[in-house]
Amino acid sequence: MEIEDRIRGFYNRFLSLSGAPEEIARAMALGVFIGTTPTIPFHTALVMVSCLALRQNITAALLGATIISNPFTIPFLYLAQYELGVIVLGMPANPFTVAGYDMRSILEIGLHILYPLLVGGVLLAAVFAVPSYFLARQAVVRLRSRNAEPVEPSP
């Protein structure tokens, strides 16, 4: 039941976010963008600094980063980022194995892997961030209207 508890926790945090739907959606999209990039050890720091610099909702951005970048999605994201980067850059694919999914392990592989990974990561981040804005905005509007207290007509 741990997964159900986590989903319920995300849902409750999402409902408790304050701000206009557009503000929350912008912050979620920012978090999704950062969370999609191959900068795992720095996601939280990048989200915090970006939110402070851009005056965005830190909680919404952290939720967005956590939803997209978690132990279940990271291997798939890294593989997709690398493959996309290789295609975009026109580089030959290099077979590799990663000892761990942290920045140090990636840097040890070398620039021939890191460069396509970063290029593909930024492109994939944009692909995920744009629709996440619209999805988050719609979700905030719907959930708030569904959970709004009915207003009693005045006599």
pLDDT in tens, 4-18: 777 777 677 776 777
Q: How far is CA 1 from CA 10, 70, 117, in A?
A: 14, 18, 35
Question: Which of these, 74, 69, 59, lies nearest to 28 by C-alpha position?
Answer: 59
pLDDT at residue 87, as a whole number:
93
Residues 6+ apart with CB under 8 A from 132: 25, 28, 29, 32, 64, 68
Q: For residues 145 and 122, what is the distance between their CA atoms, to the nearest angstrom?
A: 34
Task: Give residue 98's pLDDT band: very low, low, confident or very high (50, 70, 90).
Answer: low
Task: Give residue 35's pLDDT band: very low, low, confident or very high (50, 70, 90).
Answer: very high
Q: What is the pTM of this model?
A: 0.78
Q: Give the range among 8-17, 30-39, 61-70 with minimum mean pLDDT.
A: 8-17
> What does the buried/exposed string (b/e) look like for 63-89 if buried means 16 or more CB atoms within 10 Å of the residue's CB?
bbbbbbbeeeeeeebbebbbebbbeee
Mean pLDDT of the chain: 85
